[in-house]
Amino acid sequence: MAKKVIISCAVTGAIHTPSMSPHLPVTAEEIAQAAIGAAEAGAAIIHLHARNPVDGRPDQNPDLFEPFLQVIRQRSDAVINLTTGGHPSMTLEERLRPATRFQPELVSLNMGSMGFGLFPMLDRYKDWQHDWEPQLLEASRDLVFKNTYKDIEGLLALLSPLGTRFEFECYDTSHLYNLAHFLDRGLVKAPLFVQTCFGILGGIGSHPDDVMHMKRTADRLFGDQYIWSVLGAGARQMGIVAMAASMGGNVRVGLEDSLWGGPGRLAQSNAEQVASARAIIEGMGLSVATPDEARAILHLKGGDRTAI
């Protein structure tokens, strides 16, 4: 049987702003439709943030999540993965509100404090719809995305008893070692879903050597106790997808991580990126995992045991 590759899709995120692409979903209806389209294209996991529907600002108010979560749950069997990262400028308490309310099967968990440099995007865009957009990007020049050991311990203690499992987002080698520390202490359980993240300023780069280095390190630290996935920020997204799939990994795409559908061309939708990733995977003779297959691989509790 061909290996099953899990495709995750990060639908809207908090990195890009409405001015950067007219295809970035902002309202609850747009986010729901984007998520359903991605699932229909082959994404087993849908990773979700919310936006203020008036100005597109990232927002962790659970009341903004509820409308699109209900629609996605009604119209798709995809695994719902809620952010606990929110935006680097938010407090941990703000970031945790949706996860604690909805108790999803899966949440993202950033595995260390880091610089999260979004300010280089200011050089690529000149026309802004909202004043907050360039201000938020500029603020990242003097911002640390705080994920201390105490923060991570508290998050694990809060969500683990709910049966929620974690997409461990590792932006550099040190984050893998942090995760190994929590595994050694028995605070996280195998199989670990390790999302190695490439191309964010403040984390590891997106060169093929960087991908190989993170994979070798994870293999050494975790052996057969982890499930490997990758995301590539920006133009390197599909190159990293292809590399990881050829190495036995799983992949994440979506407009949170990259706005591009090809050289110099904006992606029209999240579904377009999922379809591109699926074509790469199936072109290698591999198969895309269904949501239930992803649940089995990652040992998830099932959608019927959430509060959505």
The per-residue pLDDT for range 64-108, each reduced to its tens digit, is 999 999 999 999 999 999 999 999 999 999 999 999 999 999 999
Q: How far is CA 52 from CA 49, 55, 97, 213, in A?
A: 10, 6, 15, 38
Q: Which residue has the tokens 């957009």?
A: 133
The pLDDT, as a whole number, for residue 249 is: 98
The DSSP bridge partners found for residue 262 are 265
- Given a contact cutoff of 8 angstroms between Cβ atoms, the answer to whether 238 and 280 are in contact is yes
Q: What is the mean pLDDT of residues 35-46?
A: 98
User: Predicted confidence band at 239 (pLDDT cuts at 50, 70, 90)?
Assistant: very high
Q: Under a CB-based contact definition with an 8 Å cutoff, are residues 300 and 294 in contact?
A: yes
The band of 270, judged by pLDDT with boundaries at 50, 70 and 90, is: very high
pLDDT value at 286 more than 60: yes
Determine the pLDDT at residue 50: 98
**285 in the Ramachandran plot: left (φ > 0), alpha (ψ -120 to 50) or beta?**
left
Q: Are 295 and 304 in contact (CB under 8 A)?
A: no
Query: Is it the case that residue 38 has pLDDT exceeding 80?
Result: yes
Per-residue confidence band for 177, with pLDDT thresholds at 50, 70 and 90: very high
Considering the segment(s) 4-305 as one domain, its CATH architecture is Alpha-Beta Barrel (3.20)
DSSP string for residues in 230-290: EEE-GGGHHHHHHHHHHTT-EEEESTTT--EEETTEE-S-HHHHHHHHHHHHHHTT-EEPP
Check: CB of residue 268 under 8 Å from CB of residue 24: no
Residue partners of 176: CB distance under 8 A and separation at least 6? 111, 170, 194, 196, 214, 217, 218, 221
What's the CA gap between 92 and 145, in Å, rounded? 10
Give the integer Cα–Cα distance in Å for 267 and 39.
Answer: 16
Give residue 278's identity as a one-letter amino acid code: R
What is the amino acid identity at position 18? P
In the prediction, which pLDDT does 3 show? 80
Task: Note the pLDDT of residue 1.
Answer: 52
Residue range 292-308: mean pLDDT, rounded? 98
Unique residue bearing structure tokens 């070798």: 216
Whether the predicted pLDDT of 143 surpasses 70: yes
Strands (E), the chain: 4-5, 7-10, 45-48, 79-82, 106-110, 114-115, 144-145, 165-170, 192-198, 226-232, 250-253, 260-262, 265-266, 287-288
Average per-residue pLDDT for the chain: 97
- pLDDT at 289 exceeding the cut of 60: yes
Please check the confidence at residue 11 and state whether its pLDDT lies above 90. Answer: yes
Q: What percent of the chain has pLDDT over 70?
A: 99
Q: Which of 260, 259, 196, 203 is nearest to 222 (CA)?
A: 196
pLDDT of residue 211: 98
Q: Work out the average pLDDT over 126-142.
A: 96
Sorted by sequence, the CB contacts under 8 Å of residue 219 that are 6+ apart come out as none
Average pLDDT rounded to a whole number, residues 141-146: 97
Q: Exposed e or buried b for every residue in 21-46, given b needs 16+ CB within 10 A?
A: eebbbbbbebbbbbbbbbbebbbbbb
120 band by pLDDT with thresholds 50, 70 and 90: very high
Predicted pLDDT at 26: 98
